Amino acid sequence: MAYEGYLYYLTLTVIDWVDIFTRPVYKHILVDSLKYCQQHKGLELYAWCLMSNHLHLIAGAAEGKKLSDILRDFKKFSSKAIVKAIQEENESRKEWLLNRFSYAAANDTKTKNYKFWQEGNESKELHTNAFLEQKLQYIHQNPVVAEIVAAPEHYLYSSALNYTGQKGLLDVLLLE
């Protein structure tokens, strides 16, 4: 449960940890969806990192907005957009991916055709500066630990660049 005015460390995970964010088209759907939520839904983004099968965020909601509502809308829109892209792109894993997401939906009474995101957002309230700093470092070190890049700021799909004073793919509110 997200309470107004708090910052949260969140992890949104693809069903069965399917490695979908290995293709730029799907990554950009997520980046564009986050940008839209920032501009139109009240998402306050402090840090983020998109890995191959999950997304880490440090986020809050603008005054009068609920983070849970923003995340619900984000997940709903992005899942539909990604499934549509899978169907329309020249995707070598198309049948397998759609079957995987269709199977997950068949076991969920709330979902009709395809279930892309796992339930929940692995939400942790950031109640101390030490915990906040730990999660910020964890998010930015994720691609380094996964041996995708040698340094956090070399990874395009995170806010690490923003924290070095450069412009990243998304604007973030820097944590001091």
CATH of the domain at 59: 3.30.70.1290
* Average pLDDT score over residue span 78-107: 94
Q: How confident is the model at residue 3 (pLDDT cuts 50, 70, 90)?
A: very low
Q: Is residue 174 part of a domain?
A: no
Q: Is residue 135 part of a domain?
A: yes
Please write the tens of the pLDDT for every residue from 129-144: 899 999 999 999 999 9
Q: Is residue 106 part of a domain?
A: yes
- Inform me whether the pLDDT recorded for 52 exceeds 80: yes
Q: Is residue 169 part of a domain?
A: no
pTM of the predicted protein model? 0.92
Q: Is residue 173 part of a domain?
A: no
Q: What is the dihedral of CA 28, 30, 35, 40, to 10 degrees?
A: 130
Percentage helix, strand, coil, to 5, in the chain?
45, 15, 40
Percent of the chain with pLDDT over 90: 84
Q: Is residue 28 part of a domain?
A: yes
Confidence (pLDDT) at 1: 37
Q: Is residue 143 part of a domain?
A: yes
Query: In total, how many domains does the chain have?
Result: 1
Give the residue among 23, 5, 6 at the shortest CA–CA distance from 14.
23
- Inform me whether the pLDDT recorded for 84 exceeds 80: yes
* Average pLDDT score over residue span 13-27: 96
Q: How confident is the model at residue 85 (pLDDT cuts 50, 70, 90)?
A: very high
* Average pLDDT of the chain, as a whole number: 93
Confidence (pLDDT) at 176: 72
Domain range for 55: 8-164
**Are 40 and 62 within 8 A, CB to CB?**
no
- Inform me whether the pLDDT recorded for 5 exceeds 70: no
Q: Is residue 176 part of a domain?
A: no
- Inform me whether the pLDDT recorded for 172 exceeds 80: yes
- Tell me which of 40-44, 74-78, 88-92 is least confident: 88-92
